[in-house]
Structure 1
Amino acid sequence: MTKKFSLLLLSFILFFGAFLPQGKSSAASGSIIISSETVNVRGGPGLSYPLVKVANRGEKYSIVKEKDDWIEIQLSFGKTGWVVNWLVTKENEQKTANAASSSESKSTVAIANTDQLRVRSGPGTSFRIVGFLNKGQEVSVLDQNENWYKITSTFGEGWVAKEFLDSRTGQTENKSAATSSKESNTGVVNGDTLNVRKESSSSSTIIGKLTKGTNVTIYTKQNKWYEIGFGNIRGWVSSEFVDIQSGSAEDKPAESSSFIGTVTANSLSIRSGASLNAGIIGSVTKGQSFTILDESNNWAKIEYKTGSFGWVAGWYLDKSTEKPNTGTSSGKETTITILQDGTNIRKQANVQSDVVQRVNEGDTFSVISVKNDWYEIKLKNGKTGFVAGWIVSTNGSAPRIEKSGAEGYLKNKTIVLDPGHGGGDNGTTGANGTLEKELTLRTARLLFDKLTAAGADVYLTRNNDSYVTLPSRVSLAAINRADAFISLHYDSNLDRSVRGMTGYYYHSYQKSLADTIYSSTVGQTNLKNRGVRFGDFHVIRENSQKATLIELGYLSNPEEEMTLKSGAFQENAASGLYDGLARFFKEN
């Protein structure tokens, strides 16, 4: 009897135990929040399993377990389902992201540091102007990325370039930084390759490398180490490999550059060093031109007034070889330079017009007029023709073409952005240690902000440093019936002199997207044009949607790596991709 009772009790425990939650193993996995508008919950870890329910954005579920790209979640007592991991956010990741955002954006108020500051509908110069700020005007900061603030003011919400706003609540910290910058010296690297370290020790982690002749800002000295700044890098270097230069007039270079730079921004800050971290020591206005005395990492050194020297962002200068004009613009002739072999010159200002001539990279032509997004140019035979403004570079006093109406072509379009690599897959590692996986995500986030502001429905295959399989990336495009899929990468080659941008497609129906986006991006960034070609890559080969893969330059080339890491390049790359997408939807 006792034996029978024991067996009955054991059976009872096993039977009910099957319906009880698994306790610690489930709870230890945490929970997820649905991050897409709707997510299909399936009976198993795969698209072939039956649909259990549809979950909505913001709903929270406990994690039971994970398998490959799928997460099993607790739906109710005794009932579970599976969701794909790229459509949800783990609660601890969200808290970490929110904490980081809160930490990075302590200040919620900023003040305009220039008059007639343009406020745009999105984070980029392609967006329409929705208002202006005057110097000293205070605004509330709602959001930000590395180049733009989203603000709210008396006229509503908009985006402003970070350079033209000063944080208010961070005033004490900023004053300290400015004082440090003003007291800092400029140095020049005298060694062939100089390691930049996290701390002032030869055993500290290397965070970058500088080549001979590079100009750096020196902030402090500790024993035999300098704390220096260069571009986005701030770290420590051995003092014996840096020669100090002061910022006085005595340091004016003996040989001046033959280039003249004309300011294209309404108001451009002059800084004590070639970095956004350097202190502001003055400003110049649109139309003024100066002899470029030195250049470093897309920054130009000028004499902005007699005996006073400083650095300005080179991407706000039009270069020429004409005599400098420190007053208003002289209205010098504008020329355009062709960026790609086989560029079409058309009879009228539209892509349906007849081609009257094909020209090659490096050819230059005088501009007669501007019509919509096209330049009317004078050809070598004396005739005229039209060239698309988004595939050429300009030089002269005339304004560059502002691409208008892009939002209208992007609104409600579904776009999947695929930042290459992630997690344990670093991708390529640059000559100076840059990880491809970090740079692709940085570019994707900037582009995400622009597209979202334009009203597009945008999905990231990953929004953090996580690994996502190639089939999963493609599935996201299929599930959401994407109008366009863009996979972002940076290239590498054993030959460190190789540089430039390359575009790829696999299927014929993808070629138009690849051509349009590539032309716009290479024109915006001015990288070497390596063209668009067939590429046997999984994310485009297995993709039933219109898709392209773009290699945005070579990290294996030390000089190009420094360019690719700069804030200016990242902004230009994101703008080029954005404009290219708008152009594609306009023409298709």
Structure 2
Amino acid sequence: MVKKGSLWVLSIILIFITFMPHGKSVAATESITISTDNVNLRGGPGLSYPLIKIVYRGEKYPIVKEQGDWIEIELANGQTGWLVNWLVTKETNSAIKTNYGMVNADTLNMRQEPSALSSVVGKLTYGTSVTIYSKQDNWLEIGFSNVRGWVISDFIDVQAAGDTSSGTAKRNGLIGTVTADSLSVRSSASLNSNLIGTVTMGQRFTIVEELNNWAKIEYQSGSFGWVAGWFLEKETSKTQTGQTVKETIITIINNGTNIRKGPDVQSDVIERTNTGAAYSVKNIINDWYEVKLEDGRIGYIAGWLVSINGNNPQIKKQGAEGYLKNKTIVLDPGHGGTDKGATGVSGTYEKDLTLRTAQLLSDKLMAAGANVYITRINDSYLQLASRVNIASSYNADAFISLHYDSNVEPSTRGMTGYYYHSYQQALAESIFASTVGQTKMTSRGVRFGDFHVIRENSQKAVLMELGYLSNPAEEMVITSAGFQENAAAGMFDGLARYFKENE
């Protein structure tokens, strides 16, 4: 029972609550420090909202607003999330400022300690936004997703909180040469924007603007669009006979690769080399790399048989993409609906990632004239037998089931290709070799796999496990825009090469 006096007080409280603002805006200089080991960051101010990611003790974030017991914070990539206020320490000193940065190297190792001899805890790709915590000599302590480590400061463009200049488009004036077989042109600088056209390897365009790692080009007279900047070679001058390359290393991706006396397939073979062998490039002549062998001799290796580091373009064998025209390809993004598949350390669902990869690959294949069917085009569940039936009903020339792996041992990493029937092996090997070469992932090889979608498939079918979501460092890589485009480009090239060599 409640007394009259208490009822009067309760009424006043209810009136106050009714007219109280739902959220309090907070000055940009206010921040919080995570004071608990693992804190869930959610999509809204309540436990019923979905988990976005996990943040960790010691990390600092600027406050966007407060609502009741919940605080909205801003992450390095501009995304926001909510956490409960009793798991953090609030700081209101106006001098406190969170710095962000953007990776300006193709790939950048995050190390456990500020030393080149320290173990690698993650890899970042060009254009990735990171949070900067501290500096020691020429090293920066940074955070991305749930991983924290040290990188060389030269490879990070620092941006102070509130400074948006690095996120705005800027005039460029460079000439970009397309280095991918088929490159999607999109309506805005995002993988999620609409596909409005395609350009092909060797085409040259003036770069009108750049936004993060995207470039705006005039792909047709009077028509402008955005392409992934990591597939443009921005050097403007080349000679017809050769191009000098500094500190470029190529790595062989196939056993028994020929090293020839001259830069063409008619030249004599002077040596053979195997997967993993690395060579320093002295020159590029047409589509061939000139290298110096251990005994001092000069040799030439076909550019489409290697992977390459640095900013130089990956050379691909011309013309193979033409063999995709009128081919019927079925893409099978694994899982979906109630079946989430593997879940990454940061909360990435396999079902979402496989669909994203399938859509990117579909864009490239359709641009080359292939007939493409996707077993699911949204977040829906489809039985395994139905996926196989789609391949059979369309008499598919190739069926590719896309997956991302998981393991109880978080250090496990790499890409694996699977086939079940012997008539599927050549397709699996071609797609796998090209995708590993394009993405530079750790190779776990092509194996026999007893999976329903390839075992019960009468068509040429493969299953690709493109990386491990259970590995924190690898999750960062495979969810990046750069990896997704490279994986799609690799599978595209592997399919094209398979049809070229098997017809």
Q: Give TM-score, length-normalised by structure 2.
A: 0.61
Q: Do residues 409 (structure 1) and 333 (structure 2) align?
A: no
Match of 1:561 among 475, 481, 490: 475
Q: Distance in 2 between matches of 1:392 and 1:436?
A: 27
Which secondary structure does the structure 2 equivalent of 1:245 belong to? coil
Shift of 1:253: 3.3
Compared with structure 1, are the counterparts of its residues 201 and 477 closer, same or farther at alpha carbon in structure 2 (3 Å cutoff)?
closer
Confirm or deny: 8 A CA contact 1:356 1:385 kept in the other structure.
no
Confirm or deny: 8 A CA contact 2:341 2:351 kept in the other structure.
yes
Shift of 1:525: 2.0
The aligned residue for residue 81 of structure 2 is 235
1:316-465 map, 5 Å: 333-338=246-251, 340=253, 342=255, 344-347=257-260, 349=264, 356-361=271-276, 363-372=278-287, 374-383=288-297, 384-389=299-304, 391-395=306-310, 398-401=312-315, 404-405=318-319, 407-465=321-379
Shift of 1:414: 0.8
Q: Do residues 207 (structure 1) and 120 (structure 2) align?
A: no
Compared with structure 1, are the counterparts of its residues 236 and 251 closer, same or farther at alpha carbon in structure 2 (3 Å cutoff)?
closer
Q: Distance in 2 between matches of 1:242 and 1:485?
A: 53
Q: Distance in 2 between matches of 1:186 and 1:359?
A: 53
Shift of 1:482: 1.4
Letter in 1 for 2:301: F
Which ranges of structure 2 fall in alignment gaps of 5 or more residues?
A: 1-24, 102-131, 140-151, 176-210, 215-227
Deviates more, 1:224-233 or 1:271-280: 271-280
**How many residues of Structure 1 are paired with residues of Structure 2 in the alignment?**
370
Q: Over residues 349-375 of structure 1, what are the superposed CA-to-partner deviations in whole Å (9 max), with x where a residue is unaligned?
A: 559985822244372422422433x43
The aligned residue for residue 111 of structure 1 is none
Q: Over residues 471-505 of structure 1, what are the superposed CA-to-partner deviations in whole Å (9 max), with x where a residue is unaligned?
A: 22222222222111111011010111111111111
Which secondary structure does the structure 2 equivalent of 1:515 belong to? helix
Q: Do residues 221 (structure 1) and 65 (structure 2) align?
A: yes
The aligned residue for residue 584 of structure 1 is 498
Compared with structure 1, are the counterparts of its residues 219 and 413 closer, same or farther at alpha carbon in structure 2 (3 Å cutoff)?
farther
Q: Over residues 155-175 of structure 1, what are the superposed CA-to-partner deviations in whole Å (9 max), with x where a residue is unaligned?
A: xxxxxxxxxxxxxxxxxxxxx
Q: Over residues 374-415 of structure 1, what are the superposed CA-to-partner deviations in whole Å (9 max), with x where a residue is unaligned?
A: 43333223231314436412326x544366545422111111
Q: Over residues 540-568 of structure 1, what are the superposed CA-to-partner deviations in whole Å (9 max), with x where a residue is unaligned?
A: 22222222110011111223223222222
Which secondary structure does the structure 1 equivalent of 2:75 belong to? strand
Which has more radius of gyration? 1
Confirm or deny: 8 A CA contact 1:272 1:281 kept in the other structure.
no
Which secondary structure does the structure 2 equivalent of 1:477 belong to? helix
Q: Distance in 2 between matches of 1:281 and 1:188?
A: 32
Q: Over residues 258-297 of structure 1, what are the superposed CA-to-partner deviations in whole Å (9 max), with x where a residue is unaligned?
A: 58669xxxxxx9977899998328677869xxxxxxxxxx
Greater relative contact order (Cα < 8 A, sep 6+): 2
Compared with structure 1, are the counterparts of its residues 208 and 356 closer, same or farther at alpha carbon in structure 2 (3 Å cutoff)?
same
Shift of 1:426: 2.1
Letter in 2 for 1:222: E
Q: Do residues 481 (structure 1) and 399 (structure 2) align?
A: no
Confirm or deny: 8 A CA contact 1:375 1:389 kept in the other structure.
no
The aligned residue for residue 245 of structure 1 is 97
Letter in 2 for 1:333: K
The aligned residue for residue 494 of structure 1 is 408
Q: Distance in 1 between matches of 2:488 and 2:252?
A: 18
Q: Distance in 1 between matches of 2:318 and 2:444?
A: 28
RMSD (Å) for aligned C-alpha atoms: 4.6
Q: Over residues 156-205 of structure 1, what are the superposed CA-to-partner deviations in whole Å (9 max), with x where a residue is unaligned?
A: xxxxxxxxxxxxxxxxxxxxxxxx9xx78999878654422112346643
Q: Distance in 1 between matches of 2:348 and 2:463?
A: 20
Q: Distance in 2 between matches of 1:430 and 1:366?
A: 38
Letter in 2 for 1:393: I
Q: Over residues 297-336 of structure 1, what are the superposed CA-to-partner deviations in whole Å (9 max), with x where a residue is unaligned?
A: xxxxxxxxxxxxxx95599689xxxxxxxx9999651522
Compared with structure 1, are the counterparts of its residues 364 and 542 closer, same or farther at alpha carbon in structure 2 (3 Å cutoff)?
same
Q: Distance in 2 between matches of 1:577 and 1:275?
A: 39
Letter in 2 for 1:279: G
The aligned residue for residue 489 of structure 2 is 575
Q: Distance in 2 between matches of 1:567 and 1:276?
A: 21
Q: Do residues 255 (structure 1) and 137 (structure 2) align?
A: yes
Confirm or deny: 8 A CA contact 2:469 2:475 kept in the other structure.
yes
Which secondary structure does the structure 1 equivalent of 2:135 belong to? coil
The aligned residue for residue 52 of structure 1 is none
Which secondary structure does the structure 1 equivalent of 2:348 belong to? coil
Compared with structure 1, are the counterparts of its residues 251 and 499 closer, same or farther at alpha carbon in structure 2 (3 Å cutoff)?
closer
Compared with structure 1, are the counterparts of its residues 478 and 328 closer, same or farther at alpha carbon in structure 2 (3 Å cutoff)?
closer
Q: Over residues 87-118 of structure 1, what are the superposed CA-to-partner deviations in whole Å (9 max), with x where a residue is unaligned?
A: xxxxxxxxxxxxxxxxxxxxxxxxxxxxxxxx
Match of 1:466 among 348, 363, 380: 380
Which secondary structure does the structure 2 equivalent of 1:584 belong to? helix
Compared with structure 1, are the counterparts of its residues 226 and 367 closer, same or farther at alpha carbon in structure 2 (3 Å cutoff)?
farther
Compared with structure 1, are the counterparts of its residues 418 and 424 closer, same or farther at alpha carbon in structure 2 (3 Å cutoff)?
same
Confirm or deny: 8 A CA contact 2:63 2:73 kept in the other structure.
yes
Shift of 1:534: 1.5
The aligned residue for residue 450 of structure 2 is 536
Confirm or deny: 8 A CA contact 1:219 1:229 kept in the other structure.
no
Confirm or deny: 8 A CA contact 2:303 2:315 kept in the other structure.
no
1:246-325 map, 5 Å: 246-247=98-99, 253-257=135-139, 258=152, 279-280=167-168, 313=213
1:97-112 map, 5 Å: none
Q: Distance in 2 between matches of 1:408 and 1:379?
A: 35
